[in-house]
Chains A and B, each alone.
Chain A
Amino acid sequence: MTEAVLRIEKLRKSFGALKATDDVTLDLKPGEIHALIGPNGAGKSTLIAQISGGLSPDSGHIYLGQENVTGLSIAARAKRGLGRCFQISSLAMPLSVRRNVMMASQAVTGTSFSFWKQTDRDLEQLEATEKVLARVGLLPRADVPVAELSHGERRQVEVACALALKPKVLLLDEPMAGMGAGGSERLTGFLEELKQEVPILLVEHDMDAVFRLADRISVLVYGQIIAQGSADMIRRDPVVREAYLGTEE
């Protein structure tokens, strides 16, 4: 069996009496897209926050590759290769697309404690940024402030920022949310291609995209994983149909 790049073991998190994450165990293997689905309030966001480092779990462990990263900060995990896209775009609005993406490549290409050399002359950083921008198709918009971009374009900037980190794992929280049919179609194609390079843990509401993209699916309901398996298995699982998918058919 191949080594998992991201492994979550027996994670628990409660808010008072509410078990937001209840004994969650899952992993992500190279070359795959593992989708996390579940109804609203199932605890997806809480789980994502614990994986990225924004929340610390009550118990359980999170491994990035071989390393236990459970106690590390958001920045430390990002630096170790955990790329993340937010459900609601979290970018610096007044800054250009290029500046936003450059921030991410800065951590990878060296220290942020450089006080003299000017970033607009830093060829290594500029090139790394251009490459990522070209890849997500944002190069023509590179110098536009993020505030002036469309919603779909901002999602692309988020993806570009995550890629600029040269991540080992991508954590995408509803990347299709609010995108038009065309945009979501294009992103689906892009992620399909990308997964060979970086495995992706995908939280998504768009079931068409999930069933098309995901190699494996975990279904989260009330903080618990009620089913885990291939797309076909999940589609046929009677428990899942009752808890979640049933409403759609």
Chain B
Amino acid sequence: MRKLSRESWINSVLVLLLALAPLCASLLDEPYYVSLASRVVIIAMAAVGLNLALGFGGLISFGHAAFFGLGGYVAGVAAYHAFDGSYFIGGIPGSDQMPVIWLVAVLVAGLAAAFIGVISLRTQGVYFIMITLAFAQMIYYFAISFPTYGGEDGLSIYVRNSLFSLDTSDPLIFFGICFFSLMLSIFFTRRLMGSRFGAALTMARLNEVRLATSGVEPFPIRLTAFVLSAMITSGAGALFADLNGFVSPSMLSWHHSGELMVIVILGGVGRLFGPVAGAVVFVLLETFIGGFTQHWQFFLGLILLSVVLFANGGLIGLLAGRSRHD
């Protein structure tokens, strides 16, 4: 067997802690902390999606809240129609089945990302950042001005959507679903980055001219990465709506886009488990320091500042050292 690298060790410990924490909380009869762990895991998954574009593809998207929110709204709208038996535009019935919701969420976000990507990926740098932000804001205001689905007040999901015969209202079971999805998205990212597509995406980030000179068009590679990235984030969004039993336009707001970026940068840009480390730190700070003072983001800022200044590879990089390309 191959010797595990230091980074693999750290990743394994991180995952193990993340899996054990809610088990302990459940044994101690503290369902709140189980839900908190689910929150960490879901936000980590959203950041795993962003990391594919931002970290591995070098595409600094400031609009990923759009995909997160779209996933949430798909879950919310589907549950809303399923609950009162009404129909979506064109007579499409609602659904309270998670697999159906996930599939639709991923497709909707994928289409949106394809559209946004075709336009925004023609630009780079600051312009790309601004165009992704602009599209996300457009979707945000669209959601606000849509009274059928709650407008500014958002939409409640009265009964958590179901998955096969599992009792999804049990916090621990719901955590398991989220945890499994997170692991799946990380595994998928890992396979992807080891594949030919991953090699091309890496080259698109490092040296676009070299990629083109090697006979591969950079644009379709980037577009595909952007779409896949949005799909992962939207899956997390659907879970987030189910966790809170609620979706509102705030899920789509640029604050969320910024938070996801902070989490990716905090954890380690382009590190497979970076978003997990980032999400753990982010949500714990938000919850515990946020309990003392509403200015908890001051501390987040301090940590982010030191990570950016002193640890180039984020938290994972700080613990595991520089990343190595073989």
Partners in one complex: yes
Minimum distance in angstroms from B220 CB to a CB of chain A:
8
Q: Is the CB of B215 within 8 A of A114?
A: no
Mask, B184-218, CB within 8 Å of A = 1, is: 00000001101111111011001101111111111
Q: Is the CB of A116 within 8 A of B206?
A: no
CA distance A118 to B210 in the complex (A): 21
Within 8 Å of chain A (Cβ to Cβ): is B29? no
Interface hits, A115-143 → B, CB 8 Å = 115-120, 122, 125, 143
Within 8 Å of chain A (Cβ to Cβ): is B221? yes
CA distance A95 to B193 in the complex (A): 14
Within 8 Å of chain B (Cβ to Cβ): is A70? no
Nearest residue in A to B203 (C-beta to C-beta)? A103
A: contact size bracket: 35 or more
Q: Is the CB of A91 within 8 A of B196?
A: no
Q: A114-B195, A114-B196, A115-B192 are in contact. Are A165 and B207 (CB under 8 A)?
A: no
Mask, A144-161, CB within 8 Å of B = 1, is: 010000000000000001
Give the chain A neighbours of B207 by CB distance below 8 A: 90-92
Within 8 Å of chain B (Cβ to Cβ): is A46? no
Q: A103-B199, A103-B203 are in contact. Are A165 and B194 (CB under 8 A)?
A: no
Give the chain B neighbours of A102 by CB distance below 8 A: 199
Mask, B211-243, CB within 8 Å of A = 1, is: 111111110110010000000000000000000
Within 8 Å of chain B (Cβ to Cβ): is A75? yes
Q: Is the CB of B194 within 8 A of A118?
A: yes
Within 8 Å of chain B (Cβ to Cβ): is A25? no
Q: Is the CB of B213 within 8 A of A78?
A: yes
Minimum distance in angstroms from A89 CB to a CB of chain B:
10
Main secondary structure of the interface of B (DSSP, over half): helix
Within 8 Å of chain B (Cβ to Cβ): is A226? no
Q: Is the CB of A119 within 8 A of B195?
A: yes
Within 8 Å of chain A (Cβ to Cβ): is B326? yes
Q: A103-B199, A115-B197, A118-B194 are in contact. Are A95 and B325 (CB under 8 A)?
A: yes
Q: A75-B218, A106-B216 are in contact. Are A112 and B206 (CB under 8 A)?
A: no
Mask, A161-200, CB within 8 Å of B = 1, is: 1001100000000000000000000000000000000000
Nearest residue in A to B322 (C-beta to C-beta)? A94
Within 8 Å of chain B (Cβ to Cβ): is A99? yes
CA distance A102 to B211 in the complex (A): 11
Of A76, A78, A91, A99, the residue contacting B199 (CB under 8 A) is A99
Within 8 Å of chain B (Cβ to Cβ): is A44? no
Q: Is the CB of A161 within 8 A of B210?
A: yes
CA distance A132 to B326 in the complex (A): 18
CA distance A99 to B206 in the complex (A): 12
Give the chain A neighbours of B218 by CB distance below 8 A: 75
Give the chain A neighbours of B200 by CB distance below 8 A: 103, 106, 112
Minimum distance in angstroms from A119 CB to a CB of chain B:
6
Q: Is the CB of B215 within 8 A of A75?
A: yes
Q: Is the CB of A113 within 8 A of B197?
A: yes
Q: A73-B217, A107-B214 are in contact. Are A95 and B206 (CB under 8 A)?
A: yes
CA distance A217 to B198 in the complex (A): 42
Q: Is the CB of B325 within 8 A of A112?
A: no
Q: A102-B199, A115-B197, A118-B191 are in contact. Are A165 and B217 (CB under 8 A)?
A: no
The 7 tightest CB contacts between A and B, nearest first, are: A107-B215, A78-B215, A79-B215, A92-B206, A74-B212, A112-B200, A104-B214
**19 additional contacts, CB 8 Å, given A86-B213, A91-B210, A119-B196?**
A74-B213, A75-B218, A90-B209, A90-B213, A92-B206, A95-B202, A103-B203, A103-B211, A103-B216, A106-B199, A106-B200, A107-B214, A112-B197, A112-B199, A113-B224, A115-B192, A119-B195, A161-B210, A165-B215
